[in-house]
Amino acid sequence: MSLAEGVLQLIEDAAREQDFAKVTTVWLEIGQLSGVEVEAMKFCFDAVTRDSVAAGAKLEIISLPGVGWCMACSKPVPMAEVFGECPQCGGYQLQVTGGTEMRVKELEVA
C-alpha cells in the first residue's frame, strides 16, 4: 500500500508542477527482482487513487528483467531471483546490476 501511495505522491507533485488536472494512464516500470507483487500494486493503486488526480487512471506495468554480474564468468547474466545461481556456470557469486527498480516512467494526462 505504501508503494502505491508513493506513486500517487509523485503523480500529485507532477500535477502541481506541470499544471494538469487529470491523469488517464500511468506507466510504471517494475523490476523482476524488486520484490513488488504486480497484482497487489494494481489493487492498491486503484484503492489509493480514488478521489485524486489519478482517479480511474489505467495502470500499465512494464516488467524489467533481472540482471546480474557473475564474478566467475566475468559477464552479465539474466537473474530470476536475487540469490539464485548463475545460468552459465552454476556459481553463486552474482552481483545484482538491474531489475530491482520501480519507477514512474510516463504519465498520460488530460
C-alpha distance across the termini of the chain, in Å:
26
Which residue ranges make up each domain of the chain? 2-65+98-109
User: What is the per-residue pLDDT for 110?
Assistant: 86
- Average pLDDT, consecutive stretches of 10 residues, N- to C-terminus, the chain (110 residues): 96 95 97 96 96 96 97 95 93 96 95
Indicate the burial class of 42 (C-beta count within 10 angstroms; 0-12, 13-18, 19 or more): middle
Residue 53: the pLDDT is 96
What CA–CA distance (Å, rounded) separates 110 from 108?
7
pLDDT at 58: 97
Considering the segment(s) 2-65+98-109 as one domain, its CATH architecture is 2-Layer Sandwich (3.30)
pTM value? Answer: 0.86
